[in-house]
Amino acid sequence: MSELDTLIQKTLDERELVYDHPAPGRFLVTLPGIKKQQTNTWLIVGNHGLVVEAFVCRRPDEAHEDVYRYLLRRNAKLYGVSYTVDKVGDIYLIGRVALSSITADELDRLLGQVLEAADGDFNPILEIGFATSIRREWDWRVSRGESLANLKAFEHLVQPEHKDRPGLTETES
């Protein structure tokens, strides 16, 4: 195992992060979140740098330009990573760091930034790019008397007359 692999493994272990190490220089780290339950993040050691790549969200259903504008503005505030989209429009965080810059503290800072961005920006991305789907899901759950607990963060997107309909219990509100 390379010296950098050892450093990465030790850092991940010390922070009690769940990860797979499928090949030398490759780590798939699962970052636990609150709004986004988990963010799977690749750490890939190359010849000259470490690549950090995390899937954030699939391609928005609507308001693509508004979502991408939001992400571009967020890029100005991020450390070591930035938002990008793939050829189908799925949203990722990606960064590249020189191998000479990788320390346990720097790795911790990068993973912390990935987690803060992916978890913190998840609901705003959904609100902008999936508002119609969220409303549809809310209506479907209300019509079936299903729990709205995990949609609570998006209650403001739903028309006021739906808030008092059956389905939203006292513990959920």
Could you read off the pLDDT of 75-95 as tens digits, one per residue? 999 999 999 999 999 999 999
The whole-number average pLDDT for the span 48-64 is 96
Specify whether 77 is located in the same domain as 25: yes
d(CA 119, CA 123): 8
CATH for 74:
3.30.1460.10
Specify whether 73 is located in the same domain as 158: no
Predicted pLDDT at 169: 39
Tens of pLDDT along 164-173?
544 443 343 3
Q: How many domains does the chain have?
A: 2
Confidence of residue 1 (pLDDT cuts 50, 70, 90): confident
Mean pLDDT of the chain: 91
Full residue range of the structural domain in which residue 20 is found: 3-121
Class of residue 61 by CB neighbours under 10 A (exposed 0-12, middle 13-18, buried 19+) = middle
Specify whether 94 is located in the same domain as 139: no
Tens of pLDDT along 26-53?
999 999 999 999 999 999 999 999 999 9
Asked, for residue 170, whether it belongs to a domain, the answer is no
- Alpha-carbon distances of 62 from 38, 65, 156, rounded to whole Å: 24, 9, 18
Q: Where are the beta strands (DSSP E) in 37-153?
A: 38-45, 49-57, 82-85, 91-98
Q: Percent of the chain, pLDDT > 90? A: 80
Specify whether 85 is located in the same domain as 23: yes
Specify whether 23 is located in the same domain as 103: yes
Predicted pLDDT at 158: 85
Predicted pLDDT at 161: 53
Residue 26: beta bridge partners? 23, 44
CB 29 within 8 A of CB 55: no
Specify whether 8 is located in the same domain as 43: yes
Specify whether 26 is located in the same domain as 100: yes
Asked, for residue 168, whether it belongs to a domain, the answer is no
Asked, for residue 62, whether it belongs to a domain, the answer is yes
Specify whether 68 is located in the same domain as 102: yes
Predicted pLDDT at 160: 61
Asked, for residue 173, whether it belongs to a domain, the answer is no
Predicted pLDDT at 157: 87
CB 9 within 8 A of CB 21: yes
d(CA 136, CA 134): 5
Tens of pLDDT along 155-165?
888 866 545 54
Structure tokens at 38: 């988990």
Tens of pLDDT along 113-124?
999 999 999 999
